[in-house]
A and B are shown apart, each in its own frame.
Chain A
Amino acid sequence: MKYRLTLLSVMMLLLPVSADPYCHQDECFTDKAELVVPNGQIVHIYYNSLFEIGENWFIVIWLENSTDNDIDLVFDFGGDISKSVEIKSGSSNYTDSLSFSGSTFSSERFDTELNVSFNGNNHIILEIDINKKPAEDMVYLWGGMSVFWFAIGAYVLYISNKLRELSKKVKSNNE
């Protein structure tokens, strides 16, 4: 029992902390944006400017005070990649989140624009870098390639040294 508890504690400490979908603290996300909606209300948007392909990408929306009208927020990457969140009127201290699947993108794209619009009117643009992690087998590819060049290089060095030394010997012998 004691062993299991210790193991569980160690695992909890070691497991990577993923972004909590409802956390709207600055330490949970690297970036923050604000969208002003009517009545001077501000919708806070928390996000990471780095989208890792293969990992779900979260956005957290937080509205501190209640609204008089419904708010329809649309997050649009373009090319039919969009999602929306509806904030009902009267919602106070409203928190919601949405996510884009890790397979939304397949290749790297830097400074990709994410258009966040409110009821189709006001909008802000967030710049997102879409990153593709290097494949795990790349290290084996470069290992194999390096060994190949090392073998050719070492052998050429060996025979050229041998040829130079021999040429010197032959020259001195002739003299």
Chain B
Amino acid sequence: MKYFRELVGSLGFLLILCTIYFGLIHVGPAKFFTAPNAQKLFYLHVPSGLITYLAFMMVVGGSSFYLYNKSNYADNIAKCSAELGLVFGFMSLSSGTFWMKAEWGGDIVSRFLTDMRLATTLAMWLLYIAYVVYRRQPETSNLKKNAAILGLSGMLMIPLSYFSSRFLRSHHPVIVGTEDQGSLDPSLRLGLYMGILGFLLLYYFLFMLRFRIEELEKTYLEKRMENV
């Protein structure tokens, strides 16, 4: 289908709007929270966080394939996904910071330094900033190989960030994959799943668009080299 990518993007955007309507208006103020209004950030914070992990896992996957068989296709996937991981990571970290300030209070900097979930997630995000900055140089096979090694370090950072709230010192609540997920209020669960699907579709749309740009850029550079 010609406009499949755009259709998926629009559907994702629509689902996010529905999630926001659902969270802000339909559900009403949250119970059992110090900041019942700021709790609405949950509907954006959790899906964007999960998509951040997905995006960085794509970088790990792409980097591994590149190191295994020097596939440029896999390298492109890693490069494009890293950029998107930064965008979604920014959303997750900033919305989390706003929510944290309202719900927990206290000093933001010391929270990031002492709460292991926050510290490891920020470290993971900074690592991929380094990856994206490194990839802004003219591409050589050596650069791709080094970038892939850097990208692979996510193999350590992603699980460290994801499981830190389970096994290390952290105030961050754990919902996904625990008993709490089953005990989530059905209205809250519906909003969460709708948000996750919306963000997933938006990620797909942006990824395909970014991938297309990458391919175009490579074709352009190759043609230019031929002309020279």
A-B contact count (CB 8 A): 82
A159 to B210, CA, bound (A): 7
| Interface residue ranges of A151-174 to B (CB < 8 Å) | 151-152, 155-156, 159, 162-163, 166-167, 169-170, 173
Q: Given A137-B102, A159-B210, answer yes or no on A144-B217 (Cβ-Cβ < 8 Å).
A: no
> Do B220 and A137 touch (CB < 8 A)?
no
> Do B216 and A173 touch (CB < 8 A)?
no
B143 interface residue per 8 A CB criterion: no
Q: In the complex, how many angstroms separate the beta carbon of A30 from the nearest chain B beta carbon?
A: 29
Q: Given A144-B45, A162-B213, answer yes or no on A173-B98 (Cβ-Cβ < 8 Å).
A: no
A166 to B41, CA, bound (A): 36
A159 to B216, CA, bound (A): 13
Q: In the complex, how many angstroms separate the beta carbon of B32 from the nearest chain A beta carbon?
A: 14
> Do A140 and B220 touch (CB < 8 A)?
no
Q: In the complex, how many angstroms separate the beta carbon of B101 from the nearest chain A beta carbon?
A: 6
A170's contact among B84, B98, B209, B220, by CB below 8 Å, is which?
B220
> Do A144 and B98 touch (CB < 8 A)?
yes
B72 interface residue per 8 A CB criterion: no
B206 interface residue per 8 A CB criterion: yes
Q: In the complex, how many angstroms separate the beta carbon of A65 from the nearest chain B beta carbon?
A: 51
Complex interface: stretch among B87-95, B156-164, B167-175: B87-95
Residue of A nearest to B29 (CB): A135
Which A residues are CB-close (under 8 A) to B98? 140-141, 143-144, 147
B182 interface residue per 8 A CB criterion: no
Provide 22 A-B residue pairs closer than 8 Å at the C-beta atoms, listed in order of the A residue. Answer: A137-B34, A137-B36, A137-B37, A137-B38, A140-B35, A141-B38, A141-B102, A144-B94, A144-B95, A144-B98, A147-B91, A147-B95, A147-B98, A148-B48, A152-B87, A159-B209, A159-B213, A163-B212, A166-B216, A170-B216, A170-B220, A173-B223
| Residues in A lying within 8 Å of B, measured CB to CB | 135-138, 140-141, 143-145, 147-148, 151-152, 155-156, 159, 162-163, 166-167, 169-170, 173
| Residues in B lying within 8 Å of A, measured CB to CB | 20, 34-38, 40-41, 44-45, 48, 84, 87, 90-91, 94-95, 98-99, 101-103, 202, 206, 209-210, 212-213, 216-217, 219-220, 223-224, 227
Q: Which 6 A-B pairs have the closest CB atoms?
A: A137-B35, A144-B98, A140-B102, A144-B95, A137-B38, A137-B102
